[in-house]
């Protein structure tokens, strides 16, 4: 067993791996277990699907999966504990068993092939599109224990008795608190795609909230999109889409706001457009026809092109 730190999961699963990574994996029980679990699920020469949403749709409570984030090159191993239309609630998994507290649940070595803990104190929500690959499934007994610990944490009551957790934190000088601070900061990149969309019913609300959060002036978005003067109108829900802004221009603005493509974003955009369809009939009309059916076809095409543009890497 190696004493060195494990490589990032993206480096571990790289094809071919770097020599240093391969040398580490040859001696590391954790890395060998992760590679073996993935090999069992993926046929030879298989490449990950380009649309992670297909993987996310398959994840159910108890799934142990690798999670990605647009703002990070790292992958997060996490347990899915709840799923819904708004996203997946997940608990990160860490091999740092020695740093476990009373809010870290020990996972038997038989599950992953190495000792690990579920960081219940660090749980968050992700979009289904962020799931990359399911590694395995947590046994029902262990999933029930995770749920019990999450409920206790949310209710601010002591952990239930009989759970396999770490020693309690007794004071502010406990070095495990510094570790938790670092882990919380690292996990934020994985929660951000969901947090960016939280509470937004229209695209205008989404843009206004993100601008304020990131402290961006309207001119920054307008410069990124190459179209002047549209931010105020969209934020006030008076700019008609799709006539007021092309899919590519809107995608460029979303990248400036660090908002990634997702089915949830598509729903927000559809609600925004459909709310303005009657008033935008002239911009949606085709030659000789301004029917609602024609408008809906234009909406579908606009959203599809927008998501495609947003998914593409900027040049």
55 plus 174 within the same structural domain: yes
Shared-domain flag, residues 107 and 172: yes
Instruction: Give yes or no: residues 69 and 151 share one domain.
Output: yes
- Cα R_g (the chain), whole angstroms: 23
Domain identity same for 181 and 213: no
Residue ranges making up the domain that contains 236: 203-311
Domain-embedded: residue 180: yes
170 shares its domain with 239: no
The pLDDT confidence band at residue 8, using thresholds 50, 70 and 90, is: low
**66 forms bridges with which residues in the sheet?**
77, 133
Last residue of a domain, one of 159, 190, 221: 190
Residues 80 and 184 in one domain: yes
Alpha-helix residue ranges (DSSP H) falling in 28-76: 29-41, 53-56
Q: What is the pLDDT of residues 85-108, one digit of tens each?
A: 778 999 999 999 999 999 999 999
**Residue 39 maps to a domain:** no
Q: What mean pLDDT value characterizes the chain? A: 83
Each residue of 225-282: pLDDT tens digit? Answer: 999 999 999 999 888 888 889 999 999 999 999 999 999 999 999 999 988 754 444 4
Q: Considering the domain boundaries, does residue 35 fall inside one?
A: no
Q: How many domains does the chain have?
A: 2
Please state the rounded mean pLDDT for residues 288-296: 51
Cis upstream peptide for 242 (omega within 30°): yes
- In angstroms, the CA 92 to CA 96 distance is 12
User: Which of 166, 190, 214 represents a domain boundary (last residue)?
Assistant: 190
Cα gap 235→214, rounded to integer Å: 16
Report the sign of the C-alpha dihedral through residues 230, 231, 236, 241, in that order: positive
185 and 54 together in one domain: yes
Indicate whether 217 and 259 sit together in one domain.
Answer: yes
């Amino acid at each position: 067993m190696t004493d060195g730190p494990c490589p990032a999961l993206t480096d571990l699963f790289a094809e071919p791996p770097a020599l240093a990574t391969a040398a580490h994996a040859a001696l590391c029980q954790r890395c060998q277990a992760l590679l073996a679990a993935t090999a069992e699920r993926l046929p030879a020469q298989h490449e990950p699907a380009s649309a992670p949403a297909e993987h996310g749709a398959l994840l159910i409570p108890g799934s142990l999966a690798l999670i990605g984030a647009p703002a990070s090159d790292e992958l997060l191993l996490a347990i899915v504990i709840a799923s819904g239309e708004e996203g997946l609630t997940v608990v990160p998994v860490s091999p740092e068993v020695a740093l476990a507290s009373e809010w870290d649940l020990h996972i038997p070595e038989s599950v992953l092939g190495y000792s690990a803990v579920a960081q219940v104190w660090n749980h968050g929500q992700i979009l289904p599109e962020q799931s990359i690959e399911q590694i395995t499934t947590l046994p029902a007994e262990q999933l029930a224990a995770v749920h019990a610990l999450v409920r206790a944490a949310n209710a601010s009551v002591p952990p239930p008795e009989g759970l396999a957790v770490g020693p309690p934190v007794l004071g502010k000088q406990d070095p495990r608190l510094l570790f938790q601070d670092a882990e919380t900061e690292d996990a934020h990149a994985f929660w951000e795609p969901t947090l960016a969309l939280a509470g937004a019913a229209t695209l205008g609300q989404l843009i206004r909230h993100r601008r304020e959060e990131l402290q961006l002036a309207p001119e920054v978005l307008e410069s990124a999109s190459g179209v002047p003067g549209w931010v105020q109108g969209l934020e006030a829900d008076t700019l008609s889409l799709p006539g007021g802004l092309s899919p590519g221009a809107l995608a460029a603005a979303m990248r400036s706001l660090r908002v990634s493509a997702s089915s949830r974003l598509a729903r927000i955009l559809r609600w925004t457009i459909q709310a303005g369809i009657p008033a935008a009939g002239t911009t949606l009309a085709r030659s000789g026809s301004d029917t609602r059916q024609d408008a809906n076809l234009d909406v579908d095409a606009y959203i599809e092109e927008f998501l495609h543009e947003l998914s593409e890497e900027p040049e």
